[in-house]
A and B are shown apart, each in its own frame.
Chain A
Amino acid sequence: GAGVSQSPSNKVTEKGKDVELRCDPISGHTALYWYRQSLGQGLEFLIYFQGNSAPDKSGLPSDRFSAERTGGSVSTLTIQRTQQEDSAVYLCASSFARAPQYFGPGTRLLVL
C-alpha cells in the first residue's frame, strides 16, 4: 500500500517568508510525528499527534512553528517568518496502535 507522503519534496524560500509543509500519513494510522533533521542537531523530535490532538507542543523550536492535523489524517507544519537556521529536512512519520513508525521521504527546506 501507499506509504507516508510529504510535499513539497524540496522548498526554497527567502528569509522572513512563511512556509507550509504537508504530511499524508498511511491510511488508518492514528499517530503522527514530525521530526527535523539538520547537520548540526541530527534528528530532533518536534511534535506528536494522536488523532487530531497534540498533547505537548514543547518540542517545537520556537513560537514561529505550529502544526495541525485535521480529520485524523493530513498534517501541516507551518513555519512563520523563516530564518536561515530553519533550513533542514523535515520528516513525518506515522504509526498505528503501538506499531513502529513509518517515515516519509521528507521535505528539504532551504532558507536563503
Chain B
Amino acid sequence: AQSVTQPDIHITVSEGASLELRCNYSYGATPYLFWYVQSPGQGLQLLLKYFSGDTLVQGIKGFEAEFKRSQSSFNLRKPSVHWSDAAEYFCAVGADSGGGADGLTFGKGTHLIIQP
C-alpha cells in the first residue's frame, strides 16, 4: 500500500531563514508527487507537483522541491520564508497526475511556525 511520511509535525523558522520540509513516500509504481499548503480554515492549495523529467521542480510562492528516487524523498524548500508562509504543509502521492481513481494519499502534515 502507498504511504507518505512527513517526519516533522512542527517546524519553527525565523523570518528570512531558509526552510526544508521533509517528505518520504512508499509507492509501488512511478509516483506522482504533490505538495499542498493549507491556511487556517481554508482548503488545500497546490504548491507544486512532480510527474517526470527534471527532478527539481519549481512552484508558486517561491517554493521548490527535489525528487530523489534513491531516497524515496520529495522535500520542499524555500530560500527565505515570509511570515505569510505560516501554515500546514501536506505532501501527497497519487497514481497519476490527477490523483487517480484511488485519490491522493497524504502525509500527516507539517505545521510551519514563523518567528519574527
State the A residues within 8 Å of B (CB).
Answer: 4, 31, 33, 35, 42-43, 45-46, 48, 50, 55-56, 59, 91, 93, 95-106
A102 to B44, CA, bound (A): 8
Alpha-carbon gap, A29 to B85, bound state (A)? 29
Stretch from B60-68, B69-77, B96-104 that touches the partner: B96-104
**Option from B45, B97, B103 in Cβ contact (under 8 Å) with A35:** B103
From DSSP, what is the main secondary structure of chain B's interface residues? loop
- List which B82-116 residues lie within 8 A (CB) of chain A: 90, 92, 96-109
> Separation in Å of the A31 CB from the closest CB of chain B?
6
B98 touches A97 (CB 8 A): yes
Neighbour of A99 across the interface among B43, B92, B98, B103, CB < 8 A: B98
| Residue among B45, B98, B100, B109 making CB contact with A103, cutoff 8 Å | B45
Q: Is the CB of B102 within 8 A of A100?
A: no
| B44: contacting residue among A31, A45, A103, CB under 8 A | A103
Taking a contact as CB atoms under 8 Å apart, the answer to whether B103 and A48 are in contact is yes
User: A45-B104, A91-B44, A103-B43 are contacts. A98–B36 as well, Cβ < 8 Å?
Assistant: no
Question: Are A59 and B103 interface neighbours, CB within 8 A?
Answer: yes
Check if B43 sits within 8 Å of A100, measured CB to CB. no
Can you pick out 29 interface pairs between chain A and chain B where the beta carbons lie within 8 Å of each other? A31-B98, A31-B99, A33-B99, A33-B104, A35-B103, A35-B104, A42-B109, A43-B92, A43-B104, A43-B106, A43-B109, A45-B103, A45-B104, A46-B103, A48-B102, A50-B101, A55-B101, A56-B101, A59-B102, A93-B44, A93-B99, A95-B98, A95-B99, A96-B98, A100-B97, A100-B99, A103-B36, A105-B42, A105-B43
